[in-house]
């Protein structure tokens, strides 16, 4: 277990380092004068020199990289070329909005996808199975931006069931005090159920859009994992010993099928981090995805670079967390083998 | 009356005409260990799964009945499989895989007692340790708290046998229970099975392709080939006076060491859709009648075989005796 | 119980070409639907441009006209015919999806087979690099690559292909590792074949099967990614006739009621991705 953890920590550190390397150099593939970008096209030579000095642009690329890397290690993702603000601060300020949207979507995708996958696997070929497989294929071929647009058209423009797809709260509403940063939770914690409901109504359409796409991989992976588990020898043994089918499904099937599903949820988080750029843009949701969109529009590569590194780091750390969870759930990793043959 | 009585058991792949098991008949007495031998793909395991009602979804029951102690447990034409607690259970090959990797082995035995046999938790805990001790596990209390991956293959098989004991079956099917285990462990597991039969008077169907093990362990033997019962009889009769060409082929061409390398039925290219005897295409004595399906012929009070050749020989013998 | 007569008859059934097609349809029902949809797209991509006019011709007086017999899919805010633009875009979207899948599959398979068959330091480096690339959600990686490389169709193709290459590397590497142990490799070695020859002539072809089906799925995702990037205004730019661009251009008009500007091009993207998914999913099912 210790050796496993050491190795895991080493590869994680290497991957995190790789992320910074890749992003830093990818952003600098094209030769261009970073000083012009920062100072604007009309800056004179003196102003350009000043900017070069201020941002260390006179150093070699490798030196700039080390400066940037040591900044990243201390949590500094650089300075936005547009706002001149700290990228870390700007991202952190927007992160709760993204988390609120993403967590609800992932939670809902699991809430629907896991039971569907299990039932589909335990009655293979039945109508729930067919429905699930159809849902998987539809979900994996769905274009997020199109689906979101249709939902907005139908439920907002035509039916008027939901508030305008702009921001986390309608203009008139006052955000709750900052506790967790999740408006629905904060509103409830401060005893404002009405505000929580208002926030929830703004959340519904974007969450629904993201969920439709996220539920597909969850269903697919749960179903596959469950089918494999139900074919295993130990499930056959349990049945041969007369254990009731419901117990077999839960204790032999589900419990063991959950191990790969935990990994699957990590992958779904990755999808979510990619997908939220489109959903946040579409719903004018003030999270990190929309920040990325705006930095593309403003040609603010520093900010975009910060976003991508943050996403990469979040994703890697999440996978580490999943590995630890895995170890807690699976006795083969937790205890380790000491068998002879 | 037999303990287990299987008649005309047939199973096939769903949506296809071909039969994987055709008209298989078996009977087993209390306290008897009966060997079921055949190449891989001969339908030994499929027959067992059919009796347990555990056929894979792609395989369906096509015909036959089975009764344990006179009560029907399988009826293809009516209710399918209606196994009751204590009728029969099965010990599989690959003992490591047969145990749930995320459940302590003690719990796996105990839940057979609580969930299947309806015992109270306290009773079941005591009995679990007793059962683990009974199957020869040293330090049973400690082992009960282990996970399968912490135990050797032989230990895992003992745990599976303890689960089977907890089920208290009248018929136990042991499907190659020692494949992949050391020779010394094999011998121990065989001894254990024999002791259990003596103690509980249950019947055992011992599935194997090791003819040596059959000679050592079994009172009777049934030979399967490509889903067809070729011959059945006491071990001595069958091995000393085999009546079916396939049984002879098995006995002559293979020493026990080689028997695990029997070609599988698929490699031998059996056409499961042909109506006749399934060994005909490999049989040196095949003749025109072999394109029909041979029924069982009687060679002795308990000795049956499925081959027209025997009937011809009997006829020839009868003619000779008339001539003389 | 089955009757032997029926069994014998079903085997001796004549197997003509029609029967073969029928049995393929029965074995891969979903893939068959996928192939039919794909054929419609292929025909549109090849011959469509012959039948429609200029995708860029505007007519402000006709702006935002709903679907009619004159404009099947209506017109956008510049009065451009949505149907014309959608037909013209077929060539671009279909080709881009397939080319991305091909590049990722070929590059990934070559790297994967070398890593898997030769192992050693090269394998270690390749695996660490794929770890890093897979540490980004594919869409985010493609996004920053295009943002850095600049907007152009080849850049989008390369960026999305890079994001999907690691999947093929892992897939083919795993197969090559297994294939390496097989008897035919020993036989080929004994017959005096060099290591590279064995890797590419023998191991690679035998390791490719999972890559084929993966390529179909990736083509579908690639179509969605390219359109998604275009929707965000990266990669393919207006006024190019591309379905993602069209949805983006129509987005604001949808809110005010002109649903046709985004509905039709978006539906075409989804149906194309669906066709790839149907094919890939059905073929993948065969493995199990």
A145/C281 touch (CB, cutoff 8 Å), yes or no: no
Residue B71: other Cβ atoms inside 10 A = 9
Q: What's the pLDDT band for C2 if we cut at 50, 70, 90?
A: very low
Report CA dihedral (A177, A179, A183, A185) to the nearest 10 degrees.
-120
Give the residue from A228, A235, A237 with the most B CB atoms within 10 Å of its CB, the best one to mutate.
A237
Please name the residues in contact with B124: beta carbons below 8 A apart, sequence gap of 6 or more: B110, B113, B114
Domain match, A64 and A178 both? no
Q: Does A61 fall in a domain?
A: yes
CATH number of domain containing C60: 1.10.3720.10
**The predicted structure's pLDDT at residue C107:** 94
C10 — contact with chain B (CB < 8 Å)?
Answer: yes
Contact predicate B106/B143, CB 8 Å: yes
Instruction: Look at the block and give the residue holding tokens 């999305």.
Output: C160
Q: Does C6 fall in a domain?
A: no
Contact predicate B54/B46, CB 8 Å: no
| Out of A231, A242, A252, closest to residue B85 by CB | A242
Domain match, A69 and A97 both? no
| Out of B17, B19, B274, closest to residue C10 by CB | B17
A241/B116 touch (CB, cutoff 8 Å), yes or no: yes
C1/B63 touch (CB, cutoff 8 Å), yes or no: yes
**The predicted structure's pLDDT at residue B205:** 92
Q: What's the pLDDT band for B313 if we cut at 50, 70, 90?
A: low
Helices (H), chain C: 4-11, 17-27, 29-51, 82-118, 120-134, 138-149, 153-180, 183-190, 195-197, 204-207, 209-231, 243-255, 260-285
**The predicted structure's pLDDT at residue B269:** 65
pLDDT in tens, C32-91: 899 999 999 999 888 888 888 777 777 777 777 788 888 888 888 887 888 889 898 899
| Residue scoring higher pLDDT (B316 or C179) | C179
Q: Give the nearest chain B residue to A125 (CA atoms).
A: B57
> Of the candidates C128, C123, C225, which has an alpha carbon nearest to the alpha carbon of residue A22?
C128
pLDDT in tens, A260-300: 888 888 888 888 888 889 999 999 999 999 999 999 888 88
Residue B24: other Cβ atoms inside 10 A = 26
Q: Distance between CA atoms of C156 and C150, rounded to whole angstroms?
A: 9
CA C231 vs CA B167, B229, C265: distances in Å: 63, 68, 12
Q: Is residue B261 over pLDDT 70? A: no
> What angle separates helix C260-285 from helix C209-231, to the nearest 10 degrees?
170
A123 — contact with chain B (CB < 8 Å)?
Answer: no
| Out of C2, C5, C10, closest to residue B62 by CB | C2
Q: What's the pLDDT band for B117 if we cut at 50, 70, 90?
A: confident
Beta-carbon-side half-sphere exposure of residue C262 (alpha carbons within 13 Å): 27
Taken in order C189, C194, C195, C200, the sign of the CA dihedral is: negative
The DSSP bridge partners found for residue B27 are B5
| Out of C140, C247, C277, closest to residue A145 by CB | C247
CA A307-A308-A310 angle, to 5 degrees, is: 65
**The predicted structure's pLDDT at residue C1:** 36
> Of the candidates B43, B50, B6, which has an alpha carbon nearest to the alpha carbon of residue B272?
B43
Distance from CA of A296 to the nearest CA of B (A): 48
Q: Is residue A230 over pLDDT 80? A: yes
| Residue scoring higher pLDDT (C138 or B300) | C138
Q: Is residue C102 over pLDDT 90? A: yes
**The predicted structure's pLDDT at residue A254:** 87
B17/C7 touch (CB, cutoff 8 Å), yes or no: yes
Q: Distance between CA atoms of B26 and B67, rounded to whole angstroms?
A: 11
**The predicted structure's pLDDT at residue B319:** 59
Q: What's the pLDDT band for C287 if we cut at 50, 70, 90?
A: very low
Q: What's the pLDDT band for A235 if we cut at 50, 70, 90?
A: very high
Q: Could you write out the three-class secondary structure of chain A? A: CHHHHHHHHHHHHHHHHHHHHHHHHHHCCCCCCHHHHHHCCCCCHHHHHHHHHHCCCCCCHHHHHHHHHHHHHCCCCCECCCCCCEHHHHHHHHHHHHHHHHHHHHHHHHHHHHHHHHHHHHCCCCHHHHHHHHHHHHHHCCCHHHHHHHHHHHHHHHCCCCCCCCCCCCCCCCCCCCCCCCHHHHHHHCCCHHHHHHHHHHHHHHHHHHHHHHHHHHHHHHHHHHHHHHCCHHHHHHHHCCCCHHHHHHHHHHHHHHHHHHHHHHHHHHHHHHHHHHHHHHCCCCCHHHHHHHHHHCCCHHHHHHHHHHHHHHHHHHHHHHHHHHHHHCHHHHCCCCCCC
Q: What is the mean pLDDT of residues B257-273?
A: 57
Residue B17: other Cβ atoms inside 10 A = 18
Which of A24, A40, A73 terminates a domain? The answer is: A73
A246 — contact with chain B (CB < 8 Å)?
Answer: no
A332/B149 touch (CB, cutoff 8 Å), yes or no: yes
Domain match, A193 and A48 both? no
Q: The tokens of A43 are what?
A: 């800056």
A143/C269 touch (CB, cutoff 8 Å), yes or no: yes
Q: Is residue B263 over pLDDT 60? A: no
Contact predicate B295/B70, CB 8 Å: no
Q: The tokens of B134 are what?
A: 């009974």
Q: Does A118 fall in a domain?
A: yes
pTM for the full predicted model: 0.82
Q: Is residue A103 over pLDDT 70? A: yes
Domain match, A234 and A267 both? yes
**The predicted structure's pLDDT at residue A338:** 42
pLDDT in tens, B54-104: 888 888 888 888 888 888 888 888 777 778 888 889 998 888 889 999 899
C4 — contact with chain B (CB < 8 Å)?
Answer: yes
Q: Does A248 fall in a domain?
A: yes
Q: Distance between CA atoms of B57 and A92, rounded to whole angstroms?
A: 52
Q: Does C21 fall in a domain?
A: no
H or E element in which residue C238 lies: none
**The predicted structure's pLDDT at residue B1:** 66
Q: The tokens of B151 are what?
A: 């135990």
Taken in order B98, B103, B106, B107, the sign of the CA dihedral is: negative
Q: Is residue B189 over pLDDT 60? A: yes
Kindly list the residues from chain A whose CB atom is less than 8 angstroms away from the CB atom of residue B151. Answer: 339
> Of the candidates A264, A267, A288, A261, which has an alpha carbon nearest to the alpha carbon of residue A101?
A288
Domain match, A219 and A302 both? yes
Q: What is the ipTM of this complex?
A: 0.86
Q: Which of A182-186, B75-79, B134-138, C118-122 has the lowest mean pLDDT?
A: B75-79
Report A:189-228 residues touching C (Cβ under 8 A).
227
Q: Distance between CA atoms of B212 and B221, rounded to whole angstroms?
A: 12
Contact predicate A240/A314, CB 8 Å: no
Q: Does A97 fall in a domain?
A: yes
Instruction: Look at the block and give the residue holding tokens 């390369």.
Output: C158
Q: Does A331 fall in a domain?
A: yes
Q: What is the mean pLDDT of residues B210-226?
A: 88
Q: Does C166 fall in a domain?
A: yes
Q: Report strand pairing: B4-13 vs B59-68.
A: antiparallel
Contact predicate B74/B260, CB 8 Å: no
When divided into structural domains, chain C yields a total of: 1
Q: Does C272 fall in a domain?
A: yes
Distance from CA of B14 to the nearest CA of C (A): 12
**The predicted structure's pLDDT at residue B226:** 85
| Out of B89, B102, B151, closest to residue A242 by CB | B89
CA C252 vs CA A146, C78, C255: distances in Å: 12, 13, 5
Range of the domain at C212: 30-287
Q: Is residue C158 over pLDDT 90? A: yes
Q: What's the pLDDT band for B255 if we cut at 50, 70, 90?
A: low
CATH number of domain containing A254: 1.10.3720.10
Kindly list the residues from chain A whose CB atom is less than 8 angstroms away from the CB atom of residue C150. Answer: 30
Q: What's the pLDDT band for C161 if we cut at 50, 70, 90?
A: very high
A119 — contact with chain C (CB < 8 Å)?
Answer: no
H or E element in which residue B311 lies: helix B308-323
Q: The tokens of A265 are what?
A: 């949820």
Which of A18, A43, A73 terminates a domain? The answer is: A73
**The predicted structure's pLDDT at residue C275:** 94
C11 — contact with chain B (CB < 8 Å)?
Answer: yes
Domain match, A134 and A186 both? yes
Report CA dihedral (B47, B51, B56, B57) to the nearest 10 degrees.
130
Q: Does C221 fall in a domain?
A: yes
pLDDT in tens, B19-67: 888 888 898 999 899 999 888 778 888 889 998 888 888 888 888 888 8
Phi first, then psi: give them for residue A59, nearest 5 degrees: -70, 165
Contact predicate B273/B261, CB 8 Å: no
Q: Give the nearest chain B residue to A121 (CA atoms).
A: B57
DSSP state of B254: -
Instruction: Look at the block and give the residue holding tokens 């080849």.
Output: C154
B275/C2 touch (CB, cutoff 8 Å), yes or no: no
C7/B273 touch (CB, cutoff 8 Å), yes or no: yes
Q: Is residue A340 over pLDDT 50? A: no
**The predicted structure's pLDDT at residue A210:** 93
Q: What's the pLDDT band for B317 if we cut at 50, 70, 90?
A: low
Phi first, then psi: give them for residue B244, nearest 5 degrees: -100, 135
Domain match, A29 and A150 both? no
Q: Does A79 fall in a domain?
A: no
**The predicted structure's pLDDT at residue A208:** 94
Range of the domain at A57: 2-73
Q: What is the mean pLDDT of residues A129-154?
A: 91
Q: What's the pLDDT band for C197 if we cut at 50, 70, 90?
A: confident
Q: Distance between CA atoms of A238 and A254, rounded to whole angstroms?
A: 14
Core vs surface per residue B220-237: b (16+ CB within 10 A) or e: bbbbbbbbbbbbbbbbeb
Distance from CA of C10 to the nearest CA of A (A): 25
| Residue scoring higher pLDDT (A34 or B250) | B250
Percent of chain B with pLDDT over 70: 89
Domain boundaries, chain B: 97-168, 223-323
Distance from CA of C197 to the nearest CA of A (A): 33
When divided into structural domains, chain A yields a total of: 2
| Residue scoring higher pLDDT (B74 or C9) | B74
Q: What's the pLDDT band for C10 if we cut at 50, 70, 90?
A: very low
Q: Is residue C14 over pLDDT 60? A: no
Q: Does C17 fall in a domain?
A: no
Kindly list the residues from chain C whose CB atom is less than 8 angstroms away from the CB atom of residue A32. Answer: none
């Amino acid at each position: 277990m210790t050796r496993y953890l050491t190795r895991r920590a080493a590869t994680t550190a290497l991957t995190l380092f790789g992320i910074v390397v890749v992003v830093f150099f990818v952003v600098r593939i094209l030769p261009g004068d970073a000083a012009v970008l920062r100072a604007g096209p009309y800056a004179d030579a003196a102003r350009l020199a000043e900017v070069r000095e201020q941002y260390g642009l006179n150093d070699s690329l490798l030196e700039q990289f080390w400066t940037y890397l040591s900044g990243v290690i201390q949590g500094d993702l650089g300075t936005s070329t547009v706002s001149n603000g700290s990228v870390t601060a700007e991202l952190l300020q927007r992160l709760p909005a993204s988390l609120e949207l993403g967590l609800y979507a992932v939670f809902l995708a699991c809430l629907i996808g896991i039971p569907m996958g299990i039932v589909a696997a335990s009655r293979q070929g039945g109508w729930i199975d067919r429905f699930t497989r159809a849902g998987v294929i539809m979900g994996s071929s769905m274009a997020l931006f199109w689906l979101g647009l249709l939902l907005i058209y139908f439920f907002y423009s035509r039916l008027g069931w939901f508030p305008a797809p702009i921001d986390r709260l309608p203009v008139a509403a006052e955000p709750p005090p900052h506790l967790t940063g999740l408006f629905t939770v904060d509103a409830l914690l401060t005893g404002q159920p009405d505000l929580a409901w208002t926030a929830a109504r703004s959340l519904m359409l974007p969450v629904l859009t993201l969920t439709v796409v996220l539920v597909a991989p969850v269903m697919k992976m749960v179903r596959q994992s469950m089918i494999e588990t139900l074919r295993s020898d130990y499930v056959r043994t349990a049945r041969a010993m007369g254990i009731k089918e419901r117990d077999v499904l839960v204790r032999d099937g589900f419990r063991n099928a959950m191990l790969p599903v935990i990994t699957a949820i990590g992958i779904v988080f990755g999808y979510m981090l990619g997908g939220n750029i489109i959903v946040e843009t579409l719903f004018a949701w003030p999270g990190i995805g929309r920040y990325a969109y705006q930095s593309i529009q403003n040609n603010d590569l520093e900010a975009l670079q910060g976003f991508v590194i943050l996403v990469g780091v979040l994703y890697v750390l999440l996978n580490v967390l999943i590995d630890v969870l895995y170890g807690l759930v699976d006795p083969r990793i937790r205890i380790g083998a000491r068998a002879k043959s | 009356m037999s303990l287990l009585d299987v008649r005309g058991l047939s199973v096939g792949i769903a949506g296809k005409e071909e039969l994987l098991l055709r008209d298989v008949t078996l009977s087993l007495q209390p306290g008897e260990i009966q060997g079921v031998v055949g190449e891989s793909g001969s339908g030994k395991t499929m027959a067992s799964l059919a009796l347990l009602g555990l056929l894979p979804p792609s395989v369906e029951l096509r015909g036959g009945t089975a009764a344990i102690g006179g009560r029907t447990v399988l009826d293809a034409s009516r209710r399918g499989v209606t196994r009751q607690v204590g009728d029969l259970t099965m010990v599989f090959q690959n003992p490591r895989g047969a145990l749930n990797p995320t459940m302590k082995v003690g719990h796996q035995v105990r839940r057979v007692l609580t969930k299947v046999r309806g015992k109270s938790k306290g009773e079941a805990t005591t009995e679990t340790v007793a059962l683990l001790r009974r199957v020869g596990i040293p330090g049973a209390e400690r082992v009960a708290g282990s996970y399968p991956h912490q135990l050797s293959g032989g230990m895992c098989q003992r745990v599976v046998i303890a689960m089977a004991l907890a089920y208290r079956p009248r018929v136990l099917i042991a499907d190659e229970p020692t494949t992949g285990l050391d020779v010394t462990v094999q011998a121990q597991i065989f001894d254990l099975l024999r002791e259990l039969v003596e103690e509980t008077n249950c019947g055992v169907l011992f599935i194997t392709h090791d003819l040596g093990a059959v000679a050592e362990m079994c009172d009777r033997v049934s030979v399967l080939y490509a889903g067809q019962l070729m011959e059945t009889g006491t071990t001595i009769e069958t091995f000393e006076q085999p009546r079916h060409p396939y049984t002879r082929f098995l006995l002559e061409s293979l020493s026990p060491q080689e028997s695990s390398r029997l070609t599988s039925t698929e490699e031998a290219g059996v056409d499961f859709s042909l109506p006749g005897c399934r060994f005909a295409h490999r049989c040196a004595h095949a003749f025109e009648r072999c394109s029909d399906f041979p029924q069982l012929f009687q060679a002795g009070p308990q000795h049956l075989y499925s081959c027209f050749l025997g009937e011809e020989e009997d006829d020839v013998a009868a003619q000779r005796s008339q001539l003389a | 119980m089955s009757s032997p007569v029926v069994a014998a008859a079903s085997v001796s059934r004549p197997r003509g070409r029609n029967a073969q097609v029928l049995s393929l349809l029965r074995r891969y029902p979903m893939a068959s639907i996928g192939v039919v949809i794909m054929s419609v797209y292929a025909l549109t991509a090849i011959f469509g441009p012959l039948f429609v006019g200029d995708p860029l011709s505007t007519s402000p007086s006709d702006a935002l006209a709903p679907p009619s017999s004159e404009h099947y899919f209506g017109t956008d805010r510049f009065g451009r015919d949505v149907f014309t633009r959608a037909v013209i875009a077929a060539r671009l979207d279909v080709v881009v999806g397939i080319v991305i899948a091909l590049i990722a599959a070929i590059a990934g398979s070559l790297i994967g087979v070398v890593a898997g068959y030769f192992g050693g330091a090269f394998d270690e480096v390749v695996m660490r690099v794929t770890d890093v690339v897979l540490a980004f959600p594919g869409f985010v990686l493609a996004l920053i690559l295009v943002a850095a490389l600049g907007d152009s169709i080849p850049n989008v193709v390369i960026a999305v292909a890079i994001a999907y290459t690691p999947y093929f590397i892992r897939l083919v590497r795993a197969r090559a590792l297994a294939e390496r142990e097989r008897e035919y490799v020993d036989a080929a070695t004994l017959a005096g074949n060099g290591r590279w020859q064995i890797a590419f002539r023998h191991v690679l072809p035998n390791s490719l099967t999972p890559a084929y089906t993966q390529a179909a799925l990736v083509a579908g995702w690639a179509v969605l990614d390219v359109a998604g990037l275009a929707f965000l205004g990266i990669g393919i730019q207006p006024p190019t006739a591309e379905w993602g661009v069209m949805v983006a251009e129509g987005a604001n008009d949808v809110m005010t009621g002109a649903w046709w500007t985004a509905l039709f091009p978006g539906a075409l993207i989804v149906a194309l991705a669906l066709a790839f998914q149907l094919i890939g999913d059905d073929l993948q099912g065969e493995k199990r």
